[in-house]
Amino acid sequence: MKAIKITRPGDSSVLELQEQPTPQPQSGQLLIRVRAAGINRSDIHQRIGGYKMDPTGQIPGLEVAGIVEQCGPNTSRWQVGDSVCALISGGGYADYVTVDERHCLPIPPNMTFAEAASLPETILTVWSTVFRWGHLSDGENLLVHGGSSGIGVTAIQLAKAFGANAYATAGSDEKCAFCEQIGAIKCINYKKEDFEKALTDIEINVILDMVGGDYTPKNLRLLAMDGRLMFINAMQGANSQIHIPTLMQKRITISGSMLKPRDANFKANLTADVEKQVWPLLTNGRLKPVIYRTFPLSEAAKAQDLMASSEHIGKIILEVD
Ligand SMILES: NC(=O)c1ccc[n+]([C@@H]2O[C@H](COP(=O)([O-])OP(=O)(O)OC[C@H]3O[C@@H](n4cnc5c(N)ncnc54)[C@H](OP(=O)(O)O)[C@@H]3O)[C@@H](O)[C@H]2O)c1
């Protein structure tokens, strides 16, 4: 099969299209013929050597959509020919990938493979962080930093669908207009305006933050009593000042999570929960995939460069013939 490999840590030129052995499904796994694969920010982190590197190189890619080609031993739910999308722990930039059958979801009716490949990583991350862990509930206010990211557009739409009010920050007026178009009550262009000042009259219950650094003191000041600050990255800085009395006075909870290293049973349980609670929103149109651009598999480097530029709104997808 053809696959994109990270040949060594570095810029996008280290991504090479190579001939690779097709993986074989093990117990509980399916072999999927990949038709589309989502690009995620952590693929770039992996490429530059941010995670422990397998010396023989790695195939990136944390989510795919495609067709079940083969069912391994001890699988029961899916049949050869089924269209599925799935969360995987790597290997998505390829013609074929193996996946735990419990991490697969049915492709909603009338959805393209590219659209379906844009769903698993963002929905599972937002569902686990904002709803299961952050307990965002009906009528509460959510602030999403990076509102135009793949994660951000999912968080805004899900908050609205579950009766919460979404606020966002993003780095341009165009991005902010888009966030408001998909359901944010207000989006602040953080390059023009201080988001803390702009939101000072709003009692924020949950903040989904991927920025860290000097956002943290502002986030803590914006949070309401019993507010929850949930980290999924720290793109601006890993260290922040925390004013402990603010935490104590408002009984704030600070937490964070990483989906990728969670074990297979956790991911299976989360996937089942998402299928029950979130998947119907894709059928009734209350949650829509947002795709900025697709690239052929051979242009994975260009796709990652576009993501690194942060020009995009929503998801960037690789299409696999
Ligand atoms: N922990 C987890 O399990 C988990 C899972 C999935 C994703 N994530 C993280 O969630 C974030 C979004 O992921 P994604 O794949 O959706 O990425 P993405 O689409 O590339 O979005 C990232 C956005 O963040 C903004 N940004 C970049 N650097 C920034 C900075 N220094 N300060 C403020 N904003 C900045 C950019 O938009 P602006 O124009 O607004 O700056 C950019 O579009 C990433 O950081 C990713 O690593 C974490």
In order, the DSSP letters of 95-122 are: SEEEEEGGGEEEPPTT--HHHHHTSHHH
Q: What percent of the chain has pLDDT over 70?
A: 99
pLDDT above 70 for 299: yes
The CA distance from 247 to 250, in Å, is 6
pLDDT above 60 for 55: no
What are the phi and psi torsion angles at 206 (to 5°)? -135, 135
Place 54 in a pLDDT band, splitting at 50, 70 and 90.
Answer: low
Q: Give the CA distances from residue 208 to residues 54, 107, 126, 167, in Å, rounded to whole numbers and listed in that order.
A: 31, 27, 9, 10
pLDDT above 80 for 53: no
The CA distance from 219 to 166, in Å, is 15
Of 210, 214, 317, 318, best ligand 1 pocket probe by most atoms within 8 Å of the beta carbon? 210
pLDDT at 81: 98
Q: What percent of the chain has pLDDT over 90?
A: 96
Give, for 38, the enclosing helix (H) or strand (E): strand 29-38
Find tokens 């093990």 and name the residue.
26
Q: Which residue ranges form the domains of the chain, and what is each CATH number?
A: 2-119+289-319 (3.90.180.10), 122-256 (3.40.50.720)
| CB of 209 sitting under 6 A from ligand 1 | no
DSSP assignment, residue 243?
-
Q: Give the CA distances from residue 38 to residues 17, 121, 175, 192, in Å, rounded to whole numbers and listed in that order.
A: 17, 8, 20, 31
Catalogue the long-range contacts made by 192-200 (C-beta closer than 8 Å, 24 or more residues apart): 194/218, 195/169, 196/221, 196/222, 199/143, 199/167
pLDDT above 90 for 218: yes
Residue nearest to atom 24 of ligand 1 (CA): 146
